[in-house]
């Protein structure tokens, strides 16, 4: 559930096909996932999935999988 | 290797391949390309162009992907006298179609989403063409090398023609100011489709240094790892990237202060508090801030430590080969202290746009008109006070309000206007705000508009704020009065 929602948001925000958003895709791998796109992903996930990423963790959110793991951890902690 | 007297940039690369053939010129992922390999690959790519019957003066469309094949092909075109039309691989399809229809390329490489046959960079094997003969180009250094498309004020992108002399002159100016040399290793996260990023590539290769290509700045963890492992000595960034680095990594980048010899910043204004922070984090690094346009690349430079007493200046002319002056609306020179239009002439200034009609009002004689307003002080420093053109500067990307307005109207809004507002998140500098005419029936919602625009515009062109109003202010001639909306 979390995995599919995160992937759907990344696909929508970057305007790339869902099939391109694989677990090992990292920021910077595709031109669309640039710094502006990364900030948009972070803020959209925070808004739509009602989580707040700790500032110190943002540096490590570098791939689809790390974002999924972080959201999973944040929602489990709550 | 064939001689390339028409291309001073290539001549320098050739010289490095002779003097330091085993030195690494280019790093991209696992690829480490020495100067001799770079030259061999450029030559092979030039033979490939010949095998496709692409001749001097022909134009090819190149998507500026961060792949070594792009670099080979880009310089192969220069070697062959072929004109590069460099495009952004993430551009919307209609912009690419417009560019294609305008320049009528004989071949397209790495481009996706446009009609016609495109060749992917991975889809060619340069080395199959070893027996192919090279055309010796009948071009000289004043011939057009590249056409770069910039955002036009009226909406349609404008092709800027840059000669071999222009791009070499620009690289020499920049290297001279920054002090780049063959000992430098630069990490390049800027897009190669823009004058800033492509210029950095040429600067480093012309100086005989090493360039490390990374996708972009999004993955700071990877970027910092490259800085450490490759012993990076410099890089270029736009102010929005600096905001991003601060936001995601705090002051961590300061640990590279001792190894970074220079940082070049440009394409948008850097807030004064960020200038102070950079100076604090990088006390011995040359912090070079440029002012320029694709048409007149890096005309002015300021170095923060040297100009610490005057951090609001946009600098002085980059070299003795460049002149900047302030002219009034009739093209007359204005005295120091008086505001007028910044105009530039010099070795890197374009002589013409691709379409002759775009040259209308672009020049006063040989002075290129920037459309920016400002003045010079008695010490020769320049200051920016306003912008005549109504472009919105989204993190260094210039956006035409007319382009956004046309797209919104196509989605069922009778009239609208877009203006620049400060980015509420404090990252991008400016972002677009749309004013929509609240008139008509079954009007689309803002969410519907956003979703429709996602197919028509680049993501940075989509308005961040929206407001319904009862009247779009227009002048008697029908021109939208955006300043009135901006003033609120």
Per residue in B240-271, pLDDT (tens digit) is 899 999 988 889 999 999 999 999 999 778 88
* Nearest Cβ partner for A39 among B191, B214, B244: B244
Cβ pair A37:B214 closer than 8 A? no
- Among B145-154, B216-225, B289-298, the least confident range: B145-154
CB pairs under 8 A between A and B: 71
Candidates B65, B92, B216, B393, partner chain A, best to mutate (most A CBs within 10 A): B216
Q: Are B80 and B38 in contact (CB under 8 A)?
A: no
The alpha carbon of residue A30 is apart from the nearest alpha carbon of chain B, in Å, by: 7
| Main-chain dihedrals φ then ψ at residue B107, nearest 5 degrees | -160, 155
Whole-structure pTM value:
0.86
Chain A hits for B221, CB-CB cut-off 8 Å, are 59-60, 62
Chain A hits for B222, CB-CB cut-off 8 Å, are 26, 28, 62
Cβ pair A28:B191 closer than 8 A? no
B87, B104, B268 from B354: Cα distances, Å: 15, 12, 25
> Smallest Cα–Cα separation from A38: which of B96, B247, B101?
B247
Q: Which CATH superfamily is domain B8-376 in?
A: ANL, N-terminal domain (3.40.50.12780)
Cβ pair A37:B244 closer than 8 A? no
Q: Domain ranges in chain B?
A: 8-376, 392-486
Cβ pair A35:B460 closer than 8 A? no
Cβ pair B427:A62 closer than 8 A? no
Q: What is the mean pLDDT of chain B?
A: 91
Cβ pair B219:A60 closer than 8 A? no
Give B26's strand partners: B33, B211
Most confident range, picked from B43-47, B132-136, B171-175, B429-433: B171-175
Topology given in CATH for the domain delimited by A2-77: 1.10.1200
Q: How far apart are CA B129 and CA B279, in angstroms?
A: 51
Instruction: Answer whether residue B134 shows pLDDT above 80.
Output: no
* Higher per-residue confidence, B386 vs B9: B9
Instruction: Answer whether residue B362 shows pLDDT above 80.
Output: yes
The alpha carbon of residue A78 is apart from the nearest alpha carbon of chain B, in Å, by: 24
Give B316's strand partners: B301
Cβ pair B215:A38 closer than 8 A? no
Candidates A36, A37, A58, partner chain B, best to mutate (most B CBs within 10 A): A36
Q: Label residue B153 by pLDDT band (50, 70, 90).
A: low
> Smallest Cα–Cα separation from B327: which of B378, B273, B375, B277?
B375
Q: Label residue B12 by pLDDT band (50, 70, 90).
A: very high
Instruction: Answer whether residue B433 shows pLDDT above 80.
Output: yes
* Ranges assigned E (strand) in B267-403: 286-293, 296-303, 316-317, 322-327, 340-346, 352-353, 363-364, 367-376, 382-387, 392-394, 397-399
Equal CATH topology for B8-376 and B392-486: no
For every residue of B108-173, DSSP letters joined together read EES--SSSS-EE-GGG--GGGGTTPPPP-----TTSEEEEEEE--TTSS-EEEEEEHHHHHHHHHH
Chain A hits for B88, CB-CB cut-off 8 Å, are 31
Cβ pair B217:A58 closer than 8 A? no
Q: Domain ranges in chain A?
A: 2-77
* Nearest Cβ partner for A59 among B220, B240, B425: B220
pLDDT above 90: percentage of residues in chain B:
71
Radius of gyration of chain B (CA): 23
Instruction: Answer whether residue B477 shows pLDDT above 80.
Output: no
What is the architecture of the domain spanning B392-486? 2-Layer Sandwich (3.30)
């Amino acid at each position: 559930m979390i995995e599919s929602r995160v992937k759907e948001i990344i696909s929508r925000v970057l305007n790339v096909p869902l099939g391109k958003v694989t677990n090992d895709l990292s920021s910077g791998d595709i031109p669309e996932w640039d710094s502006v796109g990364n900030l948009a992903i972070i803020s959209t996930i925070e808004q739509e999935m009602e989580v707040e990423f700790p500032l110190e963790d943002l540096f490590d959110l570098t791939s689809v999988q790390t974002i999924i793991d972080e959201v999973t951890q944040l929602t489990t902690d709550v | 290797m064939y001689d390339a007297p028409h291309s001073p940039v290539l001549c320098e690369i050739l010289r490095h391949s002779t003097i330091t053939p085993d030195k690494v010129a280019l790093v991209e992922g696992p690829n480490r390309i020495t100067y001799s390999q770079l030259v061999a690959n450029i030559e092979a790519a030039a033979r490939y162009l010949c095998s496709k019957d692409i001749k001097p003066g022909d134009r090819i469309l190149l998507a500026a992907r961060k792949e070594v094949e792009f670099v080979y092909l880009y310089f192969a075109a220069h070697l062959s006298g072929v004109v590069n039309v460099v495009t952004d691989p993430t551009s919307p399809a209609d912009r690419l179609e417009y560019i294609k229809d305008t320049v009528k390329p004989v071949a397209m490489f790495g481009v996706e989403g446009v009609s016609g046959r495109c060749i992917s960079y991975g889809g060619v094997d340069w080395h199959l063409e070893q027996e192919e003969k090279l055309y010796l180009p009948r071009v000289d250094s004043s011939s057009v090398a590249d056409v770069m498309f910039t955002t036009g004020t009226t909406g349609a992108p404008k092709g800027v023609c840059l000669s071999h002399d222009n791009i070499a002159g620009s690289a020499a100016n920049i290297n001279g100011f920054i002090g780049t040399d063959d000992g430098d290793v630069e990490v390049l996260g800027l897009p190669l489709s823009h004058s800033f990023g492509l210029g950095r590539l040429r600067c480093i290769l012309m100086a005989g240094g090493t360039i490390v290509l990374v996708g972009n700045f999004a993955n700071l963890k990877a970027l910092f790892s490259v800085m450490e492992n490759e012993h990076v000595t410099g890089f270029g960034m736009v102010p929005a990237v600096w905001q991003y680095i601060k936001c995601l990594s705090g002051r961590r980048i300061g640990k590279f202060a001792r190894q970074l010899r220079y940082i070049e910043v440009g394409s948008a204004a850097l807030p004064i508090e960020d200038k102070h922070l950079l100076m604090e984090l990088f006390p011995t690094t040359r912090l070079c801030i440029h002012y320029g346009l694709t048409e007149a690349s890096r005309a002015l430079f300021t170095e923060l430590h040297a100009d610490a007493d005057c951090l609001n200046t946009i600098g002085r002319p980059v070299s003795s080969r460049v002149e900047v002056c302030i002219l009034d609306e009739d093209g007359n020179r204005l005295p120091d202290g008086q505001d007028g239009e910044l105009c530039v002439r010099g070795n890197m200034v374009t002589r013409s746009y691709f379409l002759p009609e775009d040259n209308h009002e672009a020049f006063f004689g040989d002075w290129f008109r920037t459309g920016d307003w400002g003045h010079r002080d008695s010490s020769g420093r320049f200051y920016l006070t306003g912008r005549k053109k109504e472009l919105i500067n989204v993190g260094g990307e210039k956006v035409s309000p007319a382009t956004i307005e046309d797209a919104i109207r196509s989605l069922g809004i009778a009239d609208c206007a877009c203006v620049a507002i400060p980015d509420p998140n404090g990252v991008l500098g400016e972002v677009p705000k749309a004013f929509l005419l609240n008139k008509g029936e079954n009007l689309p919602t803002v969410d519907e508009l956003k979703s429709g625009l996602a197919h028509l515009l680049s993501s940075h062109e989509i308005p961040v704020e929206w407001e319904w109003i009862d009247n779009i202010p227009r002048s008697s001639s029908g021109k939208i009065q955006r300043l009135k909306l901006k003033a609120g």
